[in-house]
Structure formats: C-alpha cells, structure tokens
Amino acid sequence: MAKQLRVGLIGCGFMGRTHSNAYRRLNNFFQVEHQAVLQAICDTNEPKARAYAETWGYQRVETDWRKLLDAKDIDLIDVCVPNVAHHDIVVAAAQAGKMVCCEKPLAMNVAQAEDMVRAVEMAGVPNMIWFNYRRVPSISLAKQIVDEGRIGRAFHYRATYLQDWTISSDVPQGGDALWRLDARVAGSGVTGDLLAHSIDTAMWLNGPIARVVAKTETFIKERKHAVSGQVEPVTIDDACMFLALFANGSMGTFESTRYARGRKNFNTFELNGADGSLYFDLEEPEYLQFFEYRQLATGKKTESHLTGWRKIHTTNSEHPYMSHYWVPGTCIGYEHTFLNALADFVEGLEKGRTTVPNFRSGLQTQKVCDAVIESARTGQWLDTGAEA
Ligand code: SOE
C-alpha cells in the first residue's frame, strides 16, 4: 500500500490546473512510494471550486484556506493564488506543520520571501517553488552539460522572455485572470512574472547574479480596473531589460516584455563559455543546441572542418526524465515539466534529500527581481545579495 500524499490546493486558476494535472499523473509515470491524492480544492469562488473539483477529481471543496491548516487529512498545501496572498498562506501552512509548494515568484518582495524561508525552515517542512522550466528535459540537460565542465569558463549569458498579450489598451487590469497587470496584487509586471523564470534558470546554470542595472517601461499608462470599474494608473512594468554581472565573472543580458507582437511564450537563453556554448528556445523545447569547442574526453579541440552547432533532440531515454515517458524520438510537453518537478520533490522526500528549487532558491531570485526594480527606479548598478 503506497503512502499517501494528500494535497490541499489553493486557487482555481491556470497554474492550479497545471499542478492538479501533475498530482493526477505522478503515479502513472514515476515509481515513487507516495500516491498523490487530490484531497481538497480551495477557492473563494465556491461554484468555480466545485466545478474544478468535478473536473480534476478533488474529494472536497473549501472556500477558506484556513480550514486546510488544521485538517488532519491534508499533508501538503499547494499555493496557486495571486502573489499578494502567497506570504500569509505559506507562513501559516508551515506553522501548521504542512509541507508547502508555492507558485513563482515566491513573494511580493524580499522581506516577505525571507519571512517565508524562515517559516518553512523553522518548522522543518519540505518546500518547493514551481520553477517548472528547470524540468524541461533540454534545460536539465543543459545543467548536466555545464556540471560536466563542457562549457568551461563562462563569458556571456543572454536571456529573453517575450509575450504579446497586453498590447491592446482595452485589456483591463485586475480581477480573476488579469491580476498580473495590477502591481498591488502581482508585486511587479514582467520582472516577477517572466524574468523570475529566466533569472532562476540563469542562476541554476551559471551561478549567482551579483550586480544589475535595469530599465523598465510601462507603455500603457492607464487601464480600466476590472474590480473597481474605474480607469486607473498602471503600475506594473510592461517591459524590462537589465544587464547583469554574475559572481563567476561572466556578463548577462535579460530582456522581457508583453509587447513583442507574435511572441506568445518565447523563452530563450544562450550561454557562451571558453569550451562550448548552449542555446535553448522554449518554442522548440525538445531541442538543446550545443557547440563543443573542446572534447572533454580527449582534451582536444574539435577538428575545425567538423565544428558546428549540434541540435540535440532531447528524447532519448538517457536524457533527463525521458525514460519515464514514451519511446526515443517522441516528445513530451509543457505539462510534463510540472510532473517532473513534482516527481523530484517526492523522490526528495523519500530519499531524505532537500530538493531544489525550494523557497531558499525562490528567495535568491526574489533578491534579483527586487534589485532590478529598484535599479530601474534609480538608474544605478545595484548589488543583488543573491547567493548560491
Ligand atoms: C504569464 O502569462 C505566464 O502564465 C506566467 O505566469 C507563467 O509563469 C509562464 O510560465 C507562462 O506565462
């Protein structure tokens, strides 16, 4: 009989669906000792929560997240609500002794994130932040290649994260699906929503970002607010670009916007080192591009008439996570990145190992995000304080 991992998930939005799918599928693909059980779904909108419970198979519905804290039938609380509510739920869940998983960005700011890390560490509860893109097999392979020493001394890191869904001035801010446009609820705009992913991936692959200088822009200055019904100033960053200096001496550029017409979820990075380079593009997630200058095994340079970028189809069973899915040459998708993240977390529980990214990792990214926003305000280079 498998041990149960009984989940209470808070928030019936898009991210809640990705996580619900991961819990449902975990035991179909990963031979872990725990069986994930969709015990309770919680949302202040009861009809929505009931419909969600029906669709995903949650056993019961709550409308007040506090009810999950004392519930004996909940082991793990998963926080999928807008960013402004992360802090209070996480701290209370940790104090109640529950395991906690939380959507990104961890918090509205560093002070909150530090509080949340303190809460989970004092309570000693396992925790995870859903930086799901680390679990794209091609990105995990990039990490493996870096760790194998195939890139050598890093010189440059280049990241872009582009979308286009807020170009129309008719898109309101605030409310159910559009809270990401309201800084009081989201904390920031593309910096916390999109660049948080890029920063997390960058620091995973290339170590801490030590200093930044940034420029943000808000192209549409006023939008109707879906909750108040009034036209209100827009306070999020619609676009952000920043320069970064990594602790390892390499330089980085990061660009993000929701105004890149035609770009829906264009998340790319390139890392250039003395011995090789890596390139990834989420629109072709099953490929990782690798340029090898020096062959590790022989220590020799690749013969120059044979050099070139290798486009690795990351679908072999030797590639990260792929042995859990289909046959070589067949792909997996966006939803599997959440499944892979969950499997790593559960395996960590079973092997008594701390899995990253956890809340401490989320705090490091939060430090960079806060420094980026502050630098954009002051125009100054700033230390981020981010650690490995
Ligand atoms: C925003 O549009 C968004 O849904 C982000 O919030 C997610 O984190 C990203 O993965 C996809 O885009």
How far apart, in whole angstroms, are the C-alpha atoms of residue 12 and residue 20? 10
Ligand 1 atom showing the smallest separation from residue 196 Cα: 8
The two most distant CA atoms of the chain are separated, in Å, by 67
How far apart, in whole angstroms, are the C-alpha atoms of residue 89 and residue 146? 36
For ligand 1, pick from 265, 282, 365, 369 the residue to mutate: most ligand atoms within 8 Å of CB.
265
The full 3-state SS of 95-145, as one line of letters, equals HCCCEEEECCCCCCCHHHHHHHHHHHHHHCCCEEECCHHHHCHHHHHHHHH
Residue 176: band (very low, low, confident or very high) from pLDDT cuts 50, 70, 90: confident
In the block, tokens 């031979």 appear at 31
Residue 207: band (very low, low, confident or very high) from pLDDT cuts 50, 70, 90: very high
Residue having the nearest C-alpha atom to atom 6 of ligand 1? 193
For ligand 1, pick from 185, 190, 194 the residue to mutate: most ligand atoms within 8 Å of CB.
194
Q: At what angle do helices 359-378 and 110-123 cross, to 10 degrees?
A: 170
- Look at residue 1 in the predicted model and tell me its pLDDT: 55
pLDDT digits (tens, 9 = 90+) for 235-281: 999 999 999 999 999 999 999 999 999 999 999 999 999 999 999 99
Domains defined along the chain, listed by start = 3-132 (3.40.50.720), 133-383 (3.30.360.10)
CA distances from 51 to 12, 39, 357 (A): 10, 15, 31
- How much of the chain, in percent, has pLDDT values that exceed 90? 95
> How confident is the prediction for the chain on average, in pLDDT?
97
Residue 298: band (very low, low, confident or very high) from pLDDT cuts 50, 70, 90: confident
Residue 268 DSSP SS3: strand
Return the ∠ at Cα 244 (arms to 213 and 240), rounded to 5°.
55
- Look at residue 131 in the predicted model and tell me its pLDDT: 98
How far apart, in whole angstroms, are the C-alpha atoms of residue 87 and residue 75? 19
* DSSP output for 200-211: HHHHHHH--EEE
- Look at residue 300 in the predicted model and tell me its pLDDT: 86
Torsion sign across C-alpha atoms 199, 23, 88, 350: negative
Ligand 1 atom showing the smallest separation from residue 258 Cα: 2
Q: Token digits for 211?
A: 């200093």
How far apart, in whole angstroms, are the C-alpha atoms of residue 199 and residue 362? 10
313 Cβ contact partners less than 8 Å away, ≥ 6 residues apart = 286, 287, 329
258 Cβ contact partners less than 8 Å away, ≥ 6 residues apart = 163, 164, 165, 166, 167, 189, 190, 194, 238, 239
How far apart, in whole angstroms, are the C-alpha atoms of residue 41 and residue 20? 10
Residue having the nearest C-alpha atom to atom 1 of ligand 1? 193
Query: Ligand 1 site: residues with CB under 6 angstroms?
Result: 163, 193, 265
Strands 251-257 and 154-162: parallel
Residue 353: band (very low, low, confident or very high) from pLDDT cuts 50, 70, 90: very high
Q: For 364-374, what is the mean pLDDT?
A: 98
Question: Is 378 buried (19+), middle (13-18) or exposed (0-12) by CB count in 10 A?
Answer: exposed
For ligand 1, pick from 19, 193, 236, 268 the residue to mutate: most ligand atoms within 8 Å of CB.
193
Residue 184: band (very low, low, confident or very high) from pLDDT cuts 50, 70, 90: very high
Amino acid identity for residue 331 in this structure: C
pLDDT digits (tens, 9 = 90+) for 22-46: 999 999 999 999 999 999 999 999 9
Closest CA to 235 of 174, 176, 161, 170: 174
Q: Token digits for 258?
A: 């929701």
Q: Token digits for 89?
A: 């739920």
- Does the pLDDT of residue 305 top 90, yes or no? no
How far apart, in whole angstroms, are the C-alpha atoms of residue 92 and residue 95? 5
